[in-house]
Structure 1
Amino acid sequence: MLGMAIGDAMGAHVEFRPRSFLEQDPVTDLMGGGTWGLKPGQWTDDTSMALCLAISLIVKQG
């Protein structure tokens, strides 16, 4: 889960960008902005939904 959240936060500012953009300007650090105007290190709704699902599975024991 931690790796997912870190990967999501690192890639959030380039979500929906073409491969050519990433080849010219690879992700090497936590940055903000992008499609959603996020702060550096902020994850997207993808991580939020995964965390909600994980918490629900833990609370409901399965």
Structure 2
Amino acid sequence: MGIPEEYRNKVFEKFFRVPTGNKHNVKGSGLGLNYVKQIIDLHKGDISVKNNETGGCNFIIKLPKK
């Protein structure tokens, strides 16, 4: 399934949840990835998301070396 291209930048916004056809089976508040991004930003890092060949997603986190 992955995350459609048009939603990839939005997944880090507060309360954003990727629209699906079956909302009853999807749990979560839409805050988790926002919290992760805030922590990474505090460390002057970067996070991005890419779909993988198995139908899921890979989140790539880059943090600077000290």
Q: TM-score range by the shorter chain?
A: under 0.3
- Greater fraction of residues in helix: 1
The TM-score normalised by the length of structure 2 is 0.26
Q: For the pair shown, which has the larger CA radius of gyration, 1 or 2? A: 1
Higher strand share: 2
Bigger relative contact order, structure 1 or 2 (CA pairs below 8 A, ≥6 apart) = 1
